[in-house]
Structure formats: C-alpha cells, structure tokens
Structure 1
C-alpha cells in the first residue's frame, strides 16, 4: 500500500454525502440534484461543531430583534404598559430564539401560557373573550413537535392550515425520563414561525440542508490549509543507527525530536537513504478560498463580513452588500416577524387582568415601527454631513429654503441631530431637484 493510500485511510471529510462518492472521498463522482435530508441529531452536531454555522443561524435572528421596535399610539400610558409587559415576558429573547430555531430546524414556535375565565384543555382553541392574562411565553423548536395536524378539507376556508400540533412533553427526574407524553395543542395556543416549506411537505426545511455541500467544501479547505501549515517546517533526521531501530525505538526518538524541534513534519531515514520534499505551491489559494466564502455567502444570503463577525449594525462607505443585507432583514421584520408581534399585543389588549382591563384592539390606533437596524461609521457619517451641508447651501442660494428652515431641519430645538430630516425616497429627491431647478431658472 502506498503512502498516499495510507493517508486516505486516516482522512475523511466529517460529512459524507450518500450518492456523491465512496466512503473515502465525499467530493468524487458528484451527481447534482439529490436532496440530503438531515435528522435532528445531524443538525445538532453540525451546529455544535462549527462556529461559522452558528453565525449563519444566529446572526440574522439577532439582527431581526436587536433594535426591537417602537409602539406608536396616542395613549402614552397604554403604550408604556404594553412595552413593560412585553419586557416582563422577555418577548425579545423569545422571538430571537424562535427565529434561530426556524433557521436551524425549519420550524420555530412560541408557546402562549394564558389564563382564562373558563376551564380549558390545550386542545381547545383560545377563547379571546375569556382571556384574563398571559403568564409566560416560551420558545421551542420543531424537535418538540411529533406531528402536524392539517385541515385537508379543500372546501373549508382554512384548507391547508395547521389546526393542531402533537407535542412531545417530557419531564426528567434525575437520570430517568418519566415517560414521554404527547399532547394535542391547538394552533391558536402557539406562535408558529415557518418561512421555507416545500410544496408537498408540512414541515419547514432546515437552512443547513441546501448549505450542506458548501459547508463540506469549507471544512475541506480548512483541513487542506492546516496540512499545508503543518508541512511548512519539514525536517529530516539522517543517521546510520536508524536502520537497526525497532518500532518502539523509532517512536521514542520521534517523540524526542518533536519535543526538541517543535515540528509536526519530521522524517527519520537511514544514512544511505534520501528523502526530498516538494514545496507546496500556494499561488492562487486565496482565490480558491474566496470562492468558497462567496458560495457560502450567496447561499446563506449574508455578506462575508457579517458571517465573519463584523460589528453588528455598523456600515462603512461603499458596503452595498451589507446595506442590502440589512434591507433584507428589515423586509423580514415587516413581512414575517411583525404579524407574530401584533398577535401577541392583540391578545394582551384582550386580557381582562392586563393593562387595566379588556380593550378592543380595533378600537385603538396603534402601529409597530421597527427601530433602525444600522448606522454608518464616523468617516462615512462625516461625508454624508458634508454633502448635506452643500445641498442645504444650494437650497438657500436658490431660494428653495430659508436659512431658518435649514437650521430647524438640521439642528432642531436640541442642537445637532444624528439624522437628516429628508427621506431617501426617489419621489422626495425628484421633487426637491425640480424645486432647485425652478428656483435657479427664476433667479437667472
């Protein structure tokens, strides 16, 4: 057996793809289009073993809830009471975990622990008129859900929707498990987060399934770079005594030499033997590694800088990919997270023992406005302020605004503000441009 064949016996990628190669190499004889289904145990091991995977799963969930939201309503006392109750429920952390579970497992949930005036079972729907209070909320993943019970009546208004879930509820006593119990829970008693579901399936698809091959290549590249680093300091010890040494003597000598030279690459050869080492060519290795990162970033829809841990919410000049990422997160807040938060607030308003009594959610004007996700660095901020000052000067010179208008807009009552008062909408810019041009023509 050759040295290369022996090496292959010791090195296997930690993820082996069925149908994509033999048991020794996961990247040979690939055939596209074969879906890999990962078990909950597979997902747990992948998540626990790889920090990059943890970043891909957790960072978007953290970004969606990091700045939280502002509740807008005329009744300021009611607004403060609602936000205080959400803080008591630790709602921000619960929604963050729910989204992390959704990305990792395909489905994320929040249980609603409510008290009603009438006795009820978990299989019963929540009766909004009987609500007294919401005592707690807990985030959990699809691992706890044994079965989804859907409405399969195609002539029913709720056709295709989940009516109830069969949940695994287990209690541990010491090292023993006091028998798993499966309880049917009505869908109204949980908040269900699911964004990736194939047409013929009822469970959401874990994000790591379509990322699996890319993660395999990323792991292979990490191992390959490590091997090159090990071989960078290659040493040879030549002695006439080597030929007469047994295995134990050679092992002891190798340990001693490794301790003395601090190297992983050491060869022991006889006096008349010869060993040559071919230098590893590293030209182009950066392009190959960048390709792997580009594939991962594209598949995860996250910029490389964000995956690698760039400071959350900070954007330097010309980082358009990061801006697009935060724009995507903002869209997910509006389309996916906002309905769940609104439902929780509606339930709070309906509770008789919360917020001073039952309030009809439709009788109160209220709106959820998510707080800004990002700001620019100091250099970019200075450049923006400079351009804004030049624009204001054009407005004043051409009579679009007076100096008092600009002073009020930029500095306000409390001095210099951290934001401009003009929006970035195209319609606003076009309107202002027309006003400047008209004033300029009139001045001529």
Structure 2
C-alpha cells in the first residue's frame, strides 16, 4: 500500500526499553537494559562518597555500629587481661577496625597493615615466625587503592582454595610494588562475586537506587523553586521583538517577585499558578524504601537515628542489628582473634602459646531497650519469676544468677514478632492506665 506516493513500511511496536527510535538517541531511558549494572571506577566511588552525606551514612554508620560497643576479653589471669586491654587501646584497635570495615563497605576490600618487630631481619614477603616475634607496634588501615594484586589460590582441590597467599602493595609514588605475605595484613572481604578476587563495593549494586534518590532530590528542588509562578497575558506581546520580550520578562519577573501590587491595563491579565503536588509523598516513600532496601538499612538509621537505643516494637532495627552482629561473628571475629594470638605470642607478652591459655572474647551487645520499655519488661519478668518460685520451678539462686548479672535484659531477649507485638501492646496499655490514674 502507498500513502502520499511512498510505501509505508510496517512497524512493530517494541518495548520502551528497546525502542531507541522512540525517544531519540539522547533519551537515556531508551538506552537502558533491564538489570544492567554499572561498574564504578575508584574515582567514581570517591566522588559519590565525598559529595553525598546520605551515601556517607550508608557506608559509615554500619562500620561504626560494628565496632561501637567493641569487645570484652574473657581471661582468668586478670593481670594478663589488663595488659592486653591496655595494648589494644595503645594500638587504637577499635578505630583501626572501624576504618577497615568502612573501607570494605566503600571499595569491597578493607586492609590493616600489622607493624611487627622481630628478633631477626625479615622481608615483608616472609611469613610471620611466632618464635621471633617481639611486639606488635601499630595498626594501619587502608583500602584496595593501595593494592595492585592479590595472589589467590585458585585450585578447588587445595585446602587453601580461595585464600590469599600474598598482596602486591603500591608504595608512595605508585611506581614500585612490594610483595607482602598475608600474615602481615588483615584482609576484610564480605561481599565477593564468584571468579572475582576483589570484593564488590556496596555502591555498585545500589547505583540505580542512588540515581533514583538523586533524581528525587533534584526534582524536589525544582518543584520548590517553581512552586508558585505568575502568568501574564497581554495583547502587546505579539508586537514585541524577541529582545523586547526578554527585557519585559526580566523586568516583570523582578517586579512581581518584589512588589505586592501590579498595575496592568484593562485588556491584560495576571494569574498566579501553583504546582500540584498531590500524591508525591507516595513517590518519595517508594524512593526511600528502594534506597533503604538496597542498603539493607532501616530508613531511620540512614537518617542518623540515635545508635543502640530501641523501643520494643522496632523490628526493622532489631533485624538490622542482628545483621551487624552476623558480620561481627563471621568476618570481624577471625581478624581480632588473629591479632590477639599475635600479641600473646610476642615477647612483649612472654611468648605464650595461645592454645595453652584459657582465653576468649565476646562482642558487647549492640543495642538496649529504652528505659521505660526495659522497666516494663522487667516488671513482667519479675511477675513470671514469682510464679515459677511459687510453684518451685526454679530456685531463688537461679533467679538471682540469671536476672542480676547484667544491667539490661536486651541481651537475652529472644521474642518472636507476635510476642513483641503483644508486649508492646501491654506496655502501651500500662502507660495509658498510668496516665489516666494520675
């Protein structure tokens, strides 16, 4: 068939993500592919982190939470315990581990260089010999930007499969490298894709949601800027030149923004227009939920909620702290254990064999209930204990041992969501009845 003397080619409508001709070559949406990721360069990551406070919160707050309450050493020898605690403080261990976790979240890999003094000359490529270790002198955290290569065991039948044998570290001028044995570096890596030696930055899978958040922030600024604007109608506009129209627009814009009174002709009209923002809150909620979900953090924590203090019904915060505790146990604990073993083996601590000493450590609780919720829970637990005592289920000594060893019940609470909901309701009812009675 022909229309206007030309053949009309049959066209098949494509999906909007694939129809490049629909929006033109410059339309970003038309060049998208579903689930297409973005690989961020070290410079991209630096710019994202340096210029956005929300991204800094997403990277920094979990690192702070993972190390904020730190650890408690469990050693019968109190003199040895005190000496170890003093040494850990002198090394700024808590701050070093916080920075190592922060680097790992930001760039995929976090490192800490161990400054060791040995009784004999050694090369950094040599393994650490505990028999000649004199002291641990410093901890220097750094990121993967200073590492050019990781020599990883790729043999799937090797007991060392997946472990790093050594690191190639760049020196200060970035031109020479030195091989460093893995014994002399703490390496933290929690998120790695198969067949990739390097860890993945948290910002790479989040990039599309970061872009979405930036778009929402920019659009909000535009809405606020143009929230109220004026529309001026005049028959004289048609006879104006382009230059006269621009000059009149500039003058009228200045006058209408600074003067409350406008004097216009009978054939002219001045109207005030307002931007309709009905329903925009639902869009913002979607953006925040998408960003929080990709960061695996509650929105309240991204915005800087006070760390560690919760009410009984903040399940999202409880899940978040459970996730942080999992990172502590699975990834941070082995690094702390290795450091403590080096300290015990060093001449500074008498060259002890860690396997012949009764020692351990535990992470301190990450959160506690607010005082009012804690008091209400204690009241209910006391009533339960009274019933158990009355029926001789437990003894007074057992109650004393269980209830008064710590300052808060939060560390031993293990309620289901339904139980926490019922507990919150009973606390709320108690508060209401107390308010009515007063």
Scaled to the shorter chain, the TM-score interval is: 0.7 to 0.9
Deviations 1:124-155 (A, max 9, x none): 22222211111111000001111112234556
Structure 1's 254 and 79: CA in aligned 2 closer, same or farther, altered over 3 A?
Answer: farther
Q: Hey, what's the Cα distance between the residues in 1 that align with 2:411 and 2:370? A: 20
1:214 is paired with a residue of what secondary structure?
helix
Structure 1's 359 and 304: CA in aligned 2 closer, same or farther, altered over 3 A?
Answer: same
Aligned pairs for 1:266-285 (under 5 A) are 279-285=274-280
- Per mean C-alpha deviation after superposition, the further-off stretch among 304-313 and 269-278 is 269-278
Q: Hey, what's the Cα distance between the residues in 2 that align with 1:189 and 1:203? A: 19
Question: 1:61 maps to what in 2?
Answer: 63
* Contact preservation (8 Å) 1:238, 1:271: no
The question of 1:200 aligning with 2:195 is answered: yes
Q: Hey, what's the Cα distance between the residues in 2 that align with 1:303 and 1:339? A: 27
Q: Hey, what's the Cα distance between the residues in 1 that align with 2:265 and 2:204? A: 51
Q: Hey, what's the Cα distance between the residues in 2 that align with 1:156 and 1:409? A: 46
Structure 1's 247 and 351: CA in aligned 2 closer, same or farther, altered over 3 A?
Answer: farther
Question: 2:13 maps to what in 1?
Answer: none
Structure 1's 108 and 273: CA in aligned 2 closer, same or farther, altered over 3 A?
Answer: farther
Question: 1:8 maps to what in 2?
Answer: none
Task: Report the alpha carbon displacement of residue 246 of structure 1 after superposing the two structures with TM.
Answer: 4.1
- Per mean C-alpha deviation after superposition, the further-off stretch among 155-164 and 121-130 is 155-164
Q: Hey, what's the Cα distance between the residues in 1 that align with 2:29 and 2:83? A: 57
* Contact preservation (8 Å) 2:230, 2:270: no
Question: 2:393 maps to what in 1?
Answer: 400
* Contact preservation (8 Å) 2:128, 2:183: yes
Which of 50, 53, 72 pairs up with 1:51?
A: 53
Task: Report the alpha carbon displacement of residue 392 of structure 1 after superposing the two structures with TM.
Answer: 2.6
* Contact preservation (8 Å) 2:149, 2:167: yes
Question: 1:71 maps to what in 2?
Answer: 73
Aligned pairs for 1:107-118 (under 5 A) are 107-118=109-120
- Equivalenced residue count is 391
2:101 is paired with a residue of what secondary structure?
helix
1:147 is paired with a residue of what secondary structure?
strand
Q: Hey, what's the Cα distance between the residues in 1 that align with 2:294 and 2:411? A: 35
* TM-score, length of structure 2 as denominator length: 0.80
Q: Hey, what's the Cα distance between the residues in 1 that align with 2:270 and 2:150? A: 64
2:138 is paired with a residue of what secondary structure?
strand
Structure 1's 404 and 182: CA in aligned 2 closer, same or farther, altered over 3 A?
Answer: closer
Which of 186, 190, 194 pairs up with 2:185?
A: 190
Task: Report the alpha carbon displacement of residue 349 of structure 1 after superposing the two structures with TM.
Answer: 0.8
The question of 1:418 aligning with 2:407 is answered: yes
Name stretches of at least 5 consecutive residues in structure 2 with no aligned partner.
1-16, 416-438
1:57 is paired with a residue of what secondary structure?
helix
Task: Report the alpha carbon displacement of residue 368 of structure 1 after superposing the two structures with TM.
Answer: 1.2
Which of 223, 228, 253 pairs up with 2:251?
A: 253
Question: 1:313 maps to what in 2?
Answer: 308
- Per mean C-alpha deviation after superposition, the further-off stretch among 225-234 and 76-85 is 225-234
Name stretches of at least 5 consecutive residues in structure 1 with no aligned partner.
1-16, 172-178, 263-268, 427-444
* Contact preservation (8 Å) 1:115, 1:133: yes
Task: Report the alpha carbon displacement of residue 30 of structure 1 after superposing the two structures with TM.
Answer: 3.2
2:87 is paired with a residue of what secondary structure?
helix
Which of 374, 384, 387 pairs up with 1:391?
A: 384
- Per mean C-alpha deviation after superposition, the further-off stretch among 293-302 and 246-255 is 246-255
Q: Hey, what's the Cα distance between the residues in 2 that align with 1:271 and 1:181? A: 80
Structure 1's 154 and 270: CA in aligned 2 closer, same or farther, altered over 3 A?
Answer: farther
Q: Hey, what's the Cα distance between the residues in 2 that align with 1:55 and 1:422? A: 26
Structure 1's 311 and 26: CA in aligned 2 closer, same or farther, altered over 3 A?
Answer: farther
Aligned pairs for 1:227-376 (under 5 A) are 227-236=222-231, 243=240, 246=244, 249-250=247-248, 253=251, 256-257=254-255, 260=258, 279-352=274-347, 354-355=348-349, 357-376=350-369
Question: 1:99 maps to what in 2?
Answer: 101
1:205 is paired with a residue of what secondary structure?
coil
Task: Report the alpha carbon displacement of residue 230 of structure 1 after superposing the two structures with TM.
Answer: 1.5
Q: Hey, what's the Cα distance between the residues in 2 that align with 1:201 and 1:215? A: 24
